[in-house]
Amino acid sequence: MGNEFGVIMKNIQTKDIAMKKAEELLAKTQAYKIDELKGNNISISIGISTAPQDGDCYMDLYKRADQALYQAKRSGKARVCNYFS
């Protein structure tokens, strides 16, 4: 069970900065416990694509971020993956 959300960040100069921000978000969600006794915790997987390296229109960037997201999930979830063209 899960939901998918998209985040668009403007003025991010490099993939390294995008990765750092995503890793900070990942760390904050891993620290947040809803109900440890019942195992109801939040986990997220994050896929990143950046313009113009990975595309120059919304749909290209969305598709590539989605590919990176599913790579993160296949790698064990609760991870950040970059799209590499």
pLDDT digits (tens, 9 = 90+) for 18-63: 999 999 998 888 777 666 666 666 778 999 999 999 999 999 999 9
pLDDT in tens, 61-78: 999 999 999 999 999 888
E strand residue ranges, 9-76: 33-35, 40-41, 46-48
Distance, C-alpha 22 to centroid of its chain: 6
What residue segments make up the domains of the chain, in order of their start? 15-82
Q: Considering the entire predicted model, what is its pTM?
A: 0.81
Is residue 81 within 8 A of residue 54, CB to CB? The reply is no
> Largest Cα–Cα distance in the chain?
46
